[in-house]
A and B are shown apart, each in its own frame.
Chain A
Amino acid sequence: MSQVKKLSHVNYKKSFSLTILGIIGLLGIFAPLLMPHDPFAVDITRKFLAPSWEYPLGTDHLGRCVFSRILLGIRYSLGSALLIQMIAIILAIFLGAFVALKRGMIDFLFIRICDILLAFPTLVLAFGLLGLLGPSLKNVLIALIFTQLIYYSRMIRSLFIGMNEKEFIQAARISGTTGVGLIVRHYFPNVLPIIVTIVALDVGKVILEIAGFSFIGLGVQAPIPEWGMMVNEGKQYIRQHPELMLYPGLAIVLVVLLFNRLASSLKNFE
């Protein structure tokens, strides 16, 4: 339990990053209420407008409100990254726990398959998967969940196996706790802080990857206002209107920076 307590202490200490991220999250959730304009409404007569009270960050090449698009983009950039991490870690916990408890042949096969999959650099594996599945938001989610899952399930397996010999686990086993009970009551609470740190550490990386895929045209497709896609759309106007690339890029940097700060504060405390 002490580690769980430590964790909340860290959150209190490093509440700055968490507060701002919370506000950004709320902005994303309530984006439809807060957006001054429809982020998909095209109006060519109003293209490349300078920032004004009506359009806080001006308009893009199709006359769409950049501010509204960035607000809604929180859902696609941050939202997708959180979703990927959630699904990947939940699947990894099931898979890792299963393999760690079964051991034997299943464990052996699992490790060999992981070794082979880890022979591909993550990005290359994701590119390969996307190349086969075709570009779309759904396929980006699938490709990234898959690549994250390999690392996480392997990590959780070794965390669990590392605990097999601990006295409290053996005590629990002797008292007759088995299967799900053992995992939920004894293994899980002890690895939770490590899992939280690693998931937080990777959110930033995943946001960058989603944006990267959109940028090269293999991810989210226009007109969805994902931030990487917005940078991609703005790149043709880099000479005349560099601000179209600047704003969504800054949004990515801000969110990733906050996540990296949060994660490093969690890590330092361990």
Chain B
Amino acid sequence: MYESTWMFCLKRILTLPFVLLGVSILTFVFIRFVPVEPAEVILRLAKVAPTEEAIQALREELGTDKPLLIQYLLWLIGVLQFDFGTSFVSKLPVAHELFAKLPATIELAVAAFVLILVLSIPLGILSALYKNAIIDKIIRLFSILSVSIPTFWLGFLLLYLFSLKFGIFPTNGKGTLAHLVLPALTLALPTIGLFVQFIRSTIIEELQKHYVQYAQLRGLKNSVILMRHVLRNAAITLTTMLGLTLGNLLGGAVIVEQVFSWPGLGRYLIESIINRDYPVVQCYVLIIAVIYVLSNLCADVLHRVLDPHLMTKGRRD
């Protein structure tokens, strides 16, 4: 069955609104599960006695006395206009504050992403080519260790060694490149370990395939076989993983930001969770989900473009 790449992309893009609608419903319902009344939280935070009348008045002001469906539609219309409600704590629009903090987190995630690509690909290739040699054993030890270390603990370990002991990097804050090194490395390391293992096993698997033997029989140089054929095939499988990585990095950033006092979304989220500032939590979950869905879409499309097998076989379910 032949399905062109364009058709595939079109189908994927057409299903996107449904997923996003589902995500928005879920995020909205999420907040309604809270056992505490929003009006009560606001009054408590404003240090006003939560009397029956005060709560009722605020309910009308917030619109939480209307039926759930109406509330959802009103909220959705707001969200489509980038109005995510107002923070219970600061009384400012949630979107304003979250989008102000988004660049710092994106900076951290992108830096980690670059580190992942730059470090895990060569290490994975080395490890596969020198299978079972000393260098492979060292790389494998490194990769299993890096997936077994809690990120926050690793962060403090690096902080202790490089900032407090040797004084190479600053302990916290943001600004210069030196500030970025430790947080990005901490965020990247577990994924690097995962990717190294993955790249190693993919390349080893590819090297055993018939086309490699055939290419060798044709007299192609090993380096050519590796660059033109093996790595190209390995890259195809890697693309799907890259899409999932961005989402995991954004989640992991919450912890890393806390360790290095990085002024991003994650720290703001924790603060808001502790203050029970639900609109912020809601908006955060929504933004991250949208980024995650879009990055997965990009990865799927990229996968599709890179992999000619998929064109003839139709979708691999």
A contact set with B: CB distance below 8 Å: 112-113, 115-117, 119-125, 127-128, 130-132, 134-135, 204, 208, 211-212, 215-218, 228, 231, 235, 238-239, 242, 245, 249, 252-253, 256-257, 260-261, 264
Contacts and interface: CB of A to CB of B under 8 A. Distances in A.
Which 4 A-B pairs have CB atoms at the shortest separation, nearest pair first? A123-B251, A116-B22, A121-B247, A249-B153
Given A117-B26, A120-B23, A252 B150 contact: yes
Nearest to A121: B247
A135 B281 CA distance: 14
B159 interface: yes
Nearest to A211: B150
Interface stretch (B62-70, B80-88, B228-236, B286-294): B286-294
Contact of A217 (B31, B270, B281, B288): B270
B71 interface: no
B146 to A, nearest CB: 10
B10 to A, nearest CB: 18
B258 A215 contact: yes
Nearest to A128: B285
B270 A123 contact: no
Contacts of A239: 164
A147 to B, nearest CB: 11
A164 to B, nearest CB: 14
A244 B288 CA distance: 35
B149 to A, nearest CB: 6
Contact of B272 (A123, A131, A217, A260): A131
B281 A131 contact: yes
B157 interface: yes
B274 interface: yes
B208 to A, nearest CB: 15
B153 A231 contact: yes
Given A115-B19, A124-B292, 4 more contacts: A131-B278, A132-B33, A211-B152, A256-B150
